[in-house]
Every structure is written in structure tokens, then in C-alpha cells.
Structure 1
């Protein structure tokens, strides 16, 4: 860990850790009776906001609404449901997304255009809107109660509400993905960053079926937030793949309400940027670790590339290769699949210069196989976390991507997902 990473520390509270933010999750029975499935995140004051979205041409109805509402770079609440994607259902989907925003706005006493909406779940099925709206009403009432407790200094349950919000955005996820950091500033004062995410399957760069929500009490304009978020996503969520499928609903949102009373500049702003990137990387890694049916976590490090984009293309290509993922599941040191995946990535390099390593074991050098211990390779591949490294010996740039193995369980999960 370098000095910049040591500038902040982990704390409790998730997206409710920053001052002025509150979050709750409730059970609305959207798809399953006893699952948390509606989440609400709220800032007591209007916040600067930024968003990054899927590049899939087929987009969900709430995504279009959120893009419109974020046009002015301002927001105060985010409402999210799991269990239904609200995607590809025509005019009903647009009306449903708007109704979600309007219902939250009415109860929270904010303009509807300051409410952002996200959904995740089955595509092409009309959502049970009555249940969703009832869930929003319940969540709003509970959240307002949390706000009152916070004003009175009785906010002991804030972390619990934020945790339930993290639970409510999950679909096939098996683990909650939430973090909170605290950054003391050089000129005095402290800023906080909170984040939650969901993602397990239909994960691929640009992005996959993943949602991410970050909150901070730092004071930064929307344009600067957008730049920071874009760069963070490029190094994190756009470097993770589970199955090669890019979904319709993906978005990452960042809200900054400025309630810490700290104006960031110089080293403090640089540390804040690194803190955002670190949180996004941790959330992206959690998504890879939680890949549907996954038994192994894969990290691919590419060094010695001519350009950063070349390194990223190769790392993502290897992580996304079904043959590499299957070899990882079978604990087979088939390095030829790794080099092949690098070759079709669309990046420039000389295959005759490439070294391939599994962990610290060299399995190919200068583009050719070398004698190596199969027993040592098996031992490396039996681990829960496996690192694959390529040195292209072509330049100074590098990049890292994350993924998982391809198992029988993945097919089982996705063979019956809709039902």
C-alpha cells in the first residue's frame, strides 16, 4: 500500500457514512416474498451528481430517465429495485420509471427531476408496479424516520439501513458489496466516501449487469465528479468480466453533497480521486469474486505494453475467454489459451517477445513454452485466487483486469433465471 492509499481508512456505514446521507432497504415482494428488493438513498441537501452508463444500444427505461434527470448535474435521491429490470416493455416501462421517481419525490419533498432511478432483474417482463410503489412508500417513511433520528443525534441504526439498501439491490449475488472510507484533510476537516454495488452475472466491460452507487460529503462540482467517476470506472468496472454479456441496466452514480464543509484542492483532491478509484476497484473485484457459479477469482496483469489501451484490451480479452476460464476451473495450465486470447484482443504486440506466468511460475517465454513443474502449476491453480501475468516487452504501460472461472453451476443458474 502506497502513501496515498494510507491517507484514508475504512469505516462502517456504507452509503450512509458521509454526512447528510441516509439509506434504507425494504421487502416489497417484487419477485421473492422475504427478499429486500427496494432501496432508497437520500441526501438531506441537493447534491452534485455524475453518472456512467452501459454502452449497450438496448437500454432499460429507468436508465433513460436517470440520464434526463442528471442533465443538470444535480440530484438528491436514488431509488432502486431488484427483481425486475423494467427493460424492453414499451411505454409501460417509461411510465413505471417515472412513477418510481414521482413517488419517492412526493414522500421526500424533493423535485421529481432530482430523483434518479435504477432497476435490475429479469428483462422483458412488466414490473409489478403496485408492489414497487408500495415498497418506495415504506422505504421513504423509514428513511424520513432515520433523518429525524440523525438530527436528534440518535443515528445508531444508520449503518443497518445502509446495509439493507446493499442487500436490496442484489439479484443472483451471494455476497453484499459495500464499503466506506474516511479521509482526514491537510487543512483540517474530514470527508467520507460510501459505496455499494451489485453484480454477479451478465458482467462484461462497458458495463455488465451491475449497479454501483457512491456517496460523499466532499464539495466538488458535477463536471469534476464526472471526470473522476469516468476515470475510476475505466480502471475498475470496465476491467471486470464474468461471462462476456453487457446488460441493459448498468450504471454507476456518484453524489457529492458538500456537507463536510471541506473545499478539496491539491493533495486532498488527489487523495480523494485515488480513494474513489480504490473503492471502485474493490467493488469490481467483489463482483468478479461473486461471479455466478464461480469457484475461483482471476486477476490478469499485463505489463510492458506500448499503450495503456493495448494493455487493457489484452487483460480484458484473457479474462473474458471462455477457454481460459474453463481451464482455470479445470486447474489446467494451458498457457496457449492465454496467449491466443491476447492475440485476438485487437492490440499491437510481438508474440515472439511475450512471457506468460501463472503466479510466479513462468510457463512460456519469448512466445514459446518452457519446461515447468506441472505439480507447481497445479498448486497455483488450486488456489481460490489466481494471478495470470503477461510481459509483452514492448513498452512501459500496464493494466489489470479481473474475472472468474466458468463452472457447471453458471449454466445451472442461467438456464432457469427467468423462472
Structure 2
């Protein structure tokens, strides 16, 4: 069998079975936790919500955690709590899933995209400050791939202009910035529990915060804007009475999802250590391999390694990223691309955003590729990925 020729050209693939880029890890204890709730009196909002929220708050070191039905719902709630309204400008990064920007639009705000740092791929603090105007009402950063943004610099900017700082840390559970876990370094921090994230609730998200006012607004927003606290009602002394005091949504997490989250949360550090070990193997495997650049790591931060994103040296290759992607898929390596710059999407193009807005982000998009990374990967899986990437890139390498 010819293992040197690419599978896309009729050769034998590196792997017999397909390796996805991400995958949840569930065991019998997770199943038992969910079954226990299914046999209880609570399916929607019950005691597991509070237990899950407390476990996340304790892990990241925040005063409060508020659970939502999805990470997107949590981001929307954060924009509401921050007071974002019609025509308010909010600065964020284009290298993120569309939900980050969409949450701003849900509140009627204007999305202002700041370019990324060319090394870390995170939003640039300098780019943020250059875009601030009198209409800027918040900053939303993204810990892309699990590497923390420069929280110190962004915090200083937010304080200087007296605007809320929201962190989209969907990738960042367990990440560390200057010795402190992500979760209380911004005014509000969102974590996602989609199945490819560090732990899963099926679908779900949470906002962590140390601010009591944000906490109360977030709680009300996820439950139709309804208030039940007798001390905060306009009309008192009727024990059955509640009031809808603002326009909220049904963004509640169910006890079923929370039960899975509570059990998964016990395994965060174990999952994190596995991700770190895989990332280290990748970095070592690609050391001195001149056809790509592995992820850059800042001093003083510890990535949580949600993604391992390589940057292709296309000037040394005879094909573009599309052909590399297709060839690796044929080798049964589930590579992916994270992310299409948000303002490339037709919805944002129709709003008037033009290509060329963030040059570093756009250049990265043309060259980036996400490799498989999830806790259930074996050493053989990691070796297969390294071998396949080298095989494909060397096959397409420019020959002198």
C-alpha cells in the first residue's frame, strides 16, 4: 500500500477511521446524574441550577455565576445587563463565532470590529483604544482558542473610559492570566458548555461576575424580566404576587442540563490537563517544521487549549488552504477553520461592513487551520494528526 501518496490522490489514508476536531467525553456517572434528575420532582428550574452555578463560581473564583440555556443567551444577557441599547457602539473581535457580535445586535447596538494581535490572534488592546468614541458603551473580548486576552490592558482601557468590560471566555474555562483564573477579571465573563467545550451541559452557558447589580439584572433577564423579591416589588404584601419589571427572555437552563454540568464540573482539571498534554505533543511534533507556525504563547498566561490553531506558510506551498483542508479530511483528520471573520458573513456585509476592515484578522483567516483536540484523543490519535499534517504539507511543498 502506498502511504506516501495522499489519499485525495488515490493513496492510503493515515487513519482508517475519522477523527473529529472536537468531541464530548461522557461516562456512566454523567448518565446517572441526568437519570437522577429525570426521576426527581424537577425538570426545569430546580436545585441543580444553584448547585451548578456555585460549582462554576467556586472554580473560577467569582462571587456570582448565573446559568443560561446557551452561551449565546448568556452573552445577550450580559449586553442587556451592561445597558447596551439602540445605536450604542460595542467593540469586539472579528475572529470569533458570530454569536459574540450577534448579542450586541440583539440589543440594537452597533458592532465595531477591532483588529487582532498578529501573534496571539486575540483582540488588540491598542486597536480597541484607537476605535473608542463617545458612543462606545462596552468592550467584548474573546479568549480565542483558550488563550487569555491581555486583561490588564483592556481593563485599564475600560476603566479609563468608564465602560463595561465583557469577556467571551467560551474557550477559556480553566485558563490563567498572571496567576488568576479567568472568570473575575472582567465585569462579566461568559463560559460555554456546548459539547466541544471543556465540559458540557448539552447546551448551556454561564455568566460569572462580582457585581451584585449585574447579577440581579442577569437573573431577571433570563426569566422574562420577572421579579419575585417582595422588597423589590412595586406592589407588596400579596404573597403570590410577582412583577415583570423589564423585557426579558426565557433563557433558563433546565435541571437536566445542570445535573450533567455538575457532574462534568468535577472533571474540569482532568480534562484541562489532557488538553494541555495534547497541545504540548503537537508543539513538540511541529518543532522546526518550517511549513507551519504553531500557536504563540504569551508569558504569564496559561491557555485552556480549547483549540490548537496552526498557521500555514502558504508562500512555501503550491496550493491554498482549501486544498490542504480537503487533503487532510481525506486522510481522516477532522481539521476545521476557526473562524470566518464575522463581518464576512452576508448579514454583516448587508449592513455595510467591508472586507479590509481588519487586515491582521483577514490574513490569519486565509492561513489558519484547527487540528483535532479533545480529552478522549489517544497518543496514537495525536501522532496520526502530526504525521498527516506533515505528509500533506510536504507533498505540496514548493520544490527548489
Give TM-score scaled by structure 1 length.
Answer: 0.25
More strand by share: 1
- Larger RCO, structure (CA 8 Å, separation 6 or more): 2
